[in-house]
Amino acid sequence: MLLIINLVLLLFLYEDVIGLPCLTNEAKEDFDKSRKDLTVVQSNIGTVVKTLETNHQQTITALESTLKKTVSIMENNVKQTTNVLKNNLETFKTTLNSMGQKIKKLDTDFIVLGKDFRKTKWIKSDGHCYYFSPESKDWFSAERNCRAIGGYLAKMNNDGEKNNIFSYAKKAQYWIGMTDLKEGEFRWSYDQSIAVIKDWYPGFGSKGRNANCVALAANGGKLKPFDTACSEKRQYICESNFCKYT
């Protein structure tokens, strides 16, 4: 580009010179002065062009550096995000495996009423699940044990429910989730609702302040509740709201 500008200026100057038939001393001085000015202009143009080229290269270099930094930051962010996703995936897999093992255990923990419940923990009867403990505990320990295995001391909503499990409980006395810690006011420990019992075991139902916990015993072909001391050790019935159907 600089070369083209020089050629154009020289052509203009050449035409002016050729067009002059004869140069006087004054004209010659003007010509020399013009040539010097042209040289200065030429030099200035060269400087400007070099400056522009330098600035252009610096701009390109700065853009390349910024772009590299941006790409590097993006790559690091993608790598970090990928690592986080991998860690979360491993955690998710571990959780799924744990859940799978628990579900598999539940598959073996539930059986249908009528099978040998002694080989497993839970039985199903009329939409309810029950666990009949082989060991004897005081009432409060029995309640804690039921909570620990995902249930609660059984709440017998009606005589039909008691009769459904009669064949399993008739050989023993079992704690259920009923108390009258406030004397004479029987409540279910599961939800603290008032327990309405009309068919008590003969001679029971209001045995005083030292008999605040309730158990079931067979009488006349039915399971009937009786209140007794909470410190006595008896087997117990846990209930769960979740049933595994086969």
pLDDT tens for each residue of 7-27: 555 555 445 544 445 557 777
Q: Count the domains in the chain.
A: 2
Dump pLDDT digits (tens) for 24-63.
Answer: 777 777 777 777 877 877 788 878 878 888 887 888 888 8
Higher-pLDDT residue of 4, 77: 77
Alpha-carbon span 1 to 52, nearest angstrom:
12
Same-domain pairing of 75 and 119 = no
231: three-class secondary structure by DSSP = coil
Decide which of 49, 73, 89 is a domain's last residue: 89
Same-domain pairing of 152 and 203 = yes
Dump pLDDT digits (tens) for 213-237.
Answer: 999 888 877 788 899 999 999 999 9
Alpha-carbon span 130 to 165, nearest angstrom:
9
- Name the residue range of residue 192's domain: 113-240
Dump pLDDT digits (tens) for 80-129.
Answer: 888 888 888 888 778 777 766 655 555 444 443 334 434 457 888 777 78
The helix or strand, by DSSP H or E, that contains position 59, with its residue range, turns out to be helix 25-109
Longest CA–CA span in the chain (Å) reads: 153
Dump pLDDT digits (tens) for 166-207.
Answer: 777 767 789 999 998 888 788 999 888 888 877 888 888 766
- Beta pairing class for 213-219 and 222-228: antiparallel
Domain containing residue 150: CATH number: 3.10.100.10
Both structure tokens of 235: 């087997």
So what's the pLDDT on residue 47?
A: 84
Both structure tokens of 90: 């491993």
Same-domain pairing of 156 and 225 = yes
174 belongs to a structural domain: yes
Same-domain pairing of 34 and 71 = yes
Instruction: Tell me which residue of 116, 109, 115 sits closest to 238, measured CA to CA.
Output: 109
Same-domain pairing of 147 and 209 = yes
So what's the pLDDT on residue 136?
A: 93
Which single residue is written with the structure tokens 């522009």? Answer: 52
Same-domain pairing of 228 and 131 = yes
DSSP 115: B
103 belongs to a structural domain: no
Same-domain pairing of 148 and 37 = no
Alpha-carbon span 236 to 168, nearest angstrom:
12
Same-domain pairing of 118 and 232 = yes
Same-domain pairing of 147 and 226 = yes
So what's the pLDDT on residue 23?
A: 57
Same-domain pairing of 227 and 117 = yes
